[in-house]
Amino acid sequence: MADISIRTITKTHPGTSKPATDGISLDVVDGELLVLVGPSGCGKTTLLRMIAGLETPDSGTISINGKDVTYLPARRRNVSMVFQSYAVFPHMKVRQNIGFGLMLAKRPKAEIAERVQRAADLLNLRDYLDRYPSQLSGGQRQRVAVARAIVVDADVLLMDEPLSNLDALLRLQFRTEFKKIVQQIGTTTIYVTHDQAEALSLGDRVAVVREGRITQLGNPIDVYDHPADSFVGGFLGSPPMNFIPVDVTSSSGQVLLSAGEMRWQAPPHLASFAGRPVLMGVRAENIGVTADAFDSGGLPAKVDVVEPTGSAVLLTVRFADHDVKVQAPATFRAEPGTKVRLNLSEPQLRFYDPETALLLEDA
């Protein structure tokens, strides 16, 4: 059990000019599963390795349970780490692989046997304890790596893209299992991934990292619903949030949005942006779509591409000279070229400053 406190951690790798982490501050509470998510090269692994003690920051501090561990060697931090290349030892059976850390710590044999058994039960590996890694599937090998990490009862579990070597189906299965296991053992966990779906589904909170900084930190639903900037909106979600340039206009006391020939009511909080261009952010599932013939309301658009996904139909429509993704119900029928009407529900619209990319809050 542990909480982690990170303060203005900066690290520039030798031979590089840009910091891999640029003044990151972060508190992880006891028992929390926090996910660091961001594009390749944004500094996630560097931060994780500094928490593990495998890398030294240039400045800033890292504390675990109130104790400054910034310069403490990895072996004295009681931290367990699972890497992307979850190297299990090929010459050891699963039992020895899982118990390796306990053996190094010179724990009594009976205790090792008991704890290995418990970890194997938790990870559904009981029937494989006497096999070699080569006799296991990729998913089972991955479970061995996780069992080996949790068996030592570390204060903190650090996971660096642990599922990236698994195929899509195994990833999904293991994601659910992993969430359950972390809930059961209650160990404070930091999990690194570049997969936004994994981040949203796993994390108690997610920290979106970009160019060495945390852009947004919060619970997954809030971050998904209220992206703090257009980068987060574009990074989280599949498809990414739509961003449509619109103008805010004010006429006869009414605040309106306009794009091309179209005009429609603007949310009242945009009144102070009258006369300015803004970026309207809206998610595909928050755009209502109806066939043109059945509805005279809504804004006109034309279907360009129709992609059934099974549970829904993803449409790419031309709206105000922009390609916009719209998620329609699975039963929605349309052909390329069909005219449709879009209904934008005001509570689900977000507005961003085109220059700073930041969310325009109530002004």
Positions in the binding site for ligand ATP (CB under 6 A): 13, 15-16, 20, 38, 40-46, 194
Structure tokens at 231: 């980068």
Pairing mode, if any, of strands 156-160 and 79-82?
parallel
The smaller minimum CB distance to ligand ATP, of residues 194 and 325, is found at 194
The smaller minimum CB distance to ligand ATP, of residues 156 and 284, is found at 156
Q: Which residues contact 83 (CB under 8 A, 6 or more apart)?
A: 145, 160, 161, 162
What region does 122 belong to: left with phi over 0, alpha with psi -120 to 50, or beta? Answer: alpha
Smallest gap from residue 50 Cβ to ligand ATP (A): 10
Smallest gap from residue 161 Cβ to ligand ATP (A): 7
Smallest gap from residue 257 Cβ to ligand ATP (A): 37
Cβ 118 vs Cβ 99: under 8 Å: no
The smaller minimum CB distance to ligand ATP, of residues 36 and 129, is found at 36
The smaller minimum CB distance to ligand ATP, of residues 43 and 101, is found at 43
The smaller minimum CB distance to ligand ATP, of residues 85 and 219, is found at 85
Smallest gap from residue 22 Cβ to ligand ATP (A): 10
Cβ 18 vs Cβ 11: under 8 Å: no
Distance (Å, whole) CA 57 – CA 32: 24
Smallest gap from residue 173 Cβ to ligand ATP (A): 22
DSSP secondary structure letter of residue 239:
S
The smaller minimum CB distance to ligand ATP, of residues 55 and 155, is found at 55
Smallest gap from residue 331 Cβ to ligand ATP (A): 39
Distance (Å, whole) CA 36 – CA 128: 32
